[in-house]
Homo-oligomer: A and B are copies of this chain.
Amino acid sequence: MDYRDAGVDISAADAAKDRIKRLARGTFNPGVLSEIGSFGGLFRPDFARYEEPVLVSSTDGVGTKIQVARAMGIHDTVGYDLVAHCVNDILVQGASPLFFLDYLALGRMDPDRVEAVVAGVARACQEFGCPLIGGETAEMPGTYADDDYDLAGFIVGVVDRRKALPAGVAAGDALLGLPSAGLHTNGYSLARRALFDGAGLSADTVLPELGTSVGAALLAPHRSYLAALEPLIERGRIRALAHLTGGGFPGNIPRVLPDGLGVRIRRSAWQVPALFRLIQHSGAVADDEMFRTFNMGIGMVVVVAPDDLHEVEHSLERRGETSFLIGSVVEGAGVILE
A residues with CB within 8 A of B: 1-3, 5-8, 10, 33-34, 37-45, 47, 52-61, 63-64, 66-67, 89-90, 92-93, 95, 98-99, 101-103, 105, 133-136, 138-144, 148, 150, 152, 154, 156-157, 159, 161, 164, 187, 189-190, 192-194, 198, 243, 247, 255-256, 283-286, 289, 292-293
The smallest beta-carbon distance between A11 and chain B, in angstroms, is: 12
- Which residues does chain B contribute within 8 Å of A255, judged by CB atoms? 37-39
State the main secondary structure of chain A at its contact with B: mixed
A138 partner residues in chain B, CB cutoff 8 A: 61, 63
Known: A38-B93, A105-B61, A285-B1. A6 touches B193 (CB 8 A): yes
A257–B60 Cα gap in the complex (Å)?
Answer: 34
Q: Is B150's CB under 8 angstroms from A140's CB?
A: yes
Collect the chain B residues with CB atoms within 8 Å of residue A40's CB.
Answer: 56-58, 89-90, 92-93, 95, 157
Shortest distance from the beta carbon of A206 to any chain B beta carbon, whole Å = 24
25 residue pairs bridging A and B, Cβ less than 8 Å apart: A5-B193, A6-B190, A8-B189, A10-B247, A33-B54, A39-B89, A40-B58, A40-B92, A42-B164, A44-B53, A44-B55, A45-B55, A47-B47, A55-B55, A57-B101, A60-B103, A60-B136, A61-B105, A64-B140, A67-B142, A103-B103, A143-B144, A150-B150, A152-B152, A156-B156
Seed contacts A1-B198, A41-B57, A61-B140; 8 additional CB < 8 Å A-B pairs = A44-B52, A44-B55, A45-B55, A57-B156, A59-B102, A60-B103, A67-B143, A143-B150
Interface pairs A-B: 3 shortest CB-CB: A1-B283, A154-B154, A39-B92
Give, as a whole number of angstroms, the nearest-CB distance from A170 to chain B.
Answer: 20
- Copies of this chain, tallied across the complex: 2
State whether A105 and B189 are in contact (beta carbons under 8 Å apart), knowing that A55-B156, A66-B143, A194-B1 are contacts in the complex: no
- The one of B1, B3, B53, B64 in contact with A47, judged by C-beta atoms closer than 8 angstroms, is B53
Whether B39 contacts A103 by the Cβ 8 Å rule is: no
Chain B residue numbers with a CB within 8 Å of A283 are 1
On chain B, the residues within 8 Å of A1 by CB distance are: 190, 193-194, 198, 283-285
Residues of chain B lying within 8 A (CB to CB) of residue A285:
1-2
| Closest chain B CB from A156 CB (angstroms) | 6
- Bound together, the chains give a CA A283 to CA B92 distance in angstroms of 52
| Residue of B34, B103, B161, B190 touching A59 (CB-CB under 8 A) | B103
Complex Cα–Cα for A39 and B6 (A): 40
Q: Which residues of B contact A144 (CB under 8 A)?
A: 143
Q: Is the CB of A141 within 8 A of B189?
A: yes
Asked whether A101 and B58 contact (CB < 8 A) given A2-B285, A148-B143, the answer is yes
A45, A63, A66, A156 — which one has the most chain B CB atoms within 10 A of its CB? A156
